[in-house]
Amino acid sequence: MNARIHYTKPSITEREVAYATDAAANGWGEKCYDYLTRFEGAFRAHLGVGYAIATSSCTGALHMGMAALGIGAGDEVIMADTNWIASASPIVHLGATPVFVDVLADSWCLDPAKVEQAITPRTRAILAVHLYGNLCDMDRLLDIGARHGIPVIEDAAEAVGSVWKGGRRAGAMGAFGAFSFHGTKTITTGEGGMFVTSDPALYERVLTLSNHGRARGQTKQFWPDMVGFKYKMSNIQAALGLGQIERIEELSARKRAILAYYKRALVHLPSVSMNPEPEGTVNGAWMPTAVFSRASGITRERLQQAFAAKNIDARVFFHPLSSLPMFTPKPDNANAWDIPGRAINLPSYHDLTDAEQDTVIGVITALMEQREPRHA
């Protein structure tokens, strides 16, 4: 059997190793925040936002940002039913209710029409999650938010490198954005995240919350002004992150090249669709995903079996959140409930070779050619 083809792993070079080694050896005392400051500054500059706070996770960034917006018990936050639980859990932790709506069939992201229909007097925010590097329709969502006086939050955990129309980067358009640097992501700190915003007042509230409620201007030592959180990133993690963000163009370009390779190879299969890239946008291509038509008869289970037989680590599409035991089922979210049963995430780590991609493509082609003729 061939060596296992993993679905993702990070790209770490001597630059990251040198920075992390320096942070471990010297980043203490007065230097304990040096790499944090540099990482936040570099990430802020890359996005073109006013403020950035490194966090221990994207979930933590969302939790603090939502708390700073005043979201709490009795409130509602509208979000797509197609997501990982990490997008919904901060809402629940704050005592609010996630309102799950359907996704668009092509982008697998939040359906703006469904969002507007779901707004009630209790709606406090719209959470736009840019799934697998695909982009939500931010023009429509921001317009809906502006007309109803509701902030739009961007969960860009999977969208480093994605750019909306007009050169606006994912995470930089809403009231605030949140990013993930988990080991599976395009850039990594092992575990970690980032809160970003261009709203100075919101930044100050989150900065205070991020430090156990101790305000930046407080002169009393160990004096919190409120009960806050502890979602800080370590200086050593930030050193790794700095090395990664300094390579962001290279890392993003490689992700996009992998997606493009898959698309070129599978274009002859009309029953297979992949991550879209609407005109004027850039898909950061974090997770190349193949969705099979209903008519193809290809199921998630058949895909898992076929990939396992070739020692390929392919990942399933997210289950609808409303199908999970802690939430109320909403099968009327038709796309969110239907797509996962006929979709699969494909391997896409930076060092993936053409030969390995060809092996992945061969599995899909073999399955499909049992169902439909090859087209020129």
pLDDT along the chain (376 residues), means of 10: 88 98 97 97 98 98 98 98 97 98 98 98 98 98 98 98 97 98 96 98 96 89 92 97 98 98 95 96 98 95 95 96 98 98 97 96 91 47
Beta bridge partners of 301: none
Angle at 217 (CA atoms; ends 212, 221), nearest 5 degrees: 60
Which residues have CB under 8 Å from 313's CB, separation 6+? 4, 5, 6, 7, 307, 347
In one letter, which amino acid is 295? A
Give start-end residues of each CATH 3.90.1150.10 domain in the chain.
248-369
Give start-end residues of each CATH 3.40.640.10 domain in the chain.
14-245
- 241 contacts 255 by C-beta, under 8 angstroms: no
In one letter, which amino acid is 292? F
Q: How far is CA 333 from the centre of its chain?
A: 21
- 14-245: CATH topology is Aspartate Aminotransferase; domain 2 (3.40.640)
Sign for the CA dihedral angle at 349, 197, 168, 236 comes to negative
Please give the helix or strand (H or E) that residue 279 lies within, else none: none
Q: φ, ψ for residue 20 (rounded to 5)?
A: -65, -35
pLDDT computed for residue 373 by the predictor: 46
Determine the 3-state secondary structure of 127 from DSSP: strand
Q: Among 74, 92, 71, 94, which Cα is nearest to 83's?
A: 92
pLDDT computed for residue 70 by the predictor: 97
Strands 76-80 and 123-129: parallel
Cα gap 348→328, rounded to integer Å? 34
pTM, entire model: 0.95
Instruction: Tell me if the domain spanning 248-369 has CATH number 2.40.50.140.
Output: no
135: left (phi over 0), alpha (psi -120 to 50) or beta: beta
**DSSP category for residue 174:** S
Cα gap 264→249, rounded to integer Å? 22
Determine the 3-state secondary structure of 316 from DSSP: strand
Where in 264-347 does DSSP place strands (E)? 272-273, 289-292, 315-316, 343-345
Q: Among 333, 359, 361, 353, which Cα is nearest to 80's?
A: 333
Which residues have CB under 8 Å from 348's CB, separation 6+? 7, 8, 255, 258, 259, 285, 286, 287, 288
Cα gap 340→83, rounded to integer Å? 11
Determine the 3-state secondary structure of 211 from DSSP: coil
Cα gap 367→293, rounded to integer Å? 13
Q: Which two tokens stand for residue 281?
A: 């946008």
Question: 351: exposed, middle or buried (C-beta count within 10 Å: 0-12, 13-18, 19+)?
Answer: exposed
Other C-beta atoms lying within 10 Å of the C-beta of residue 230: 10
Q: Among 10, 83, 81, 7, which Cα is nearest to 317's?
A: 83
Q: How far is CA 251 from the centre of its chain?
A: 16
Strands 176-180 and 193-197: antiparallel
- 78 contacts 116 by C-beta, under 8 angstroms: no
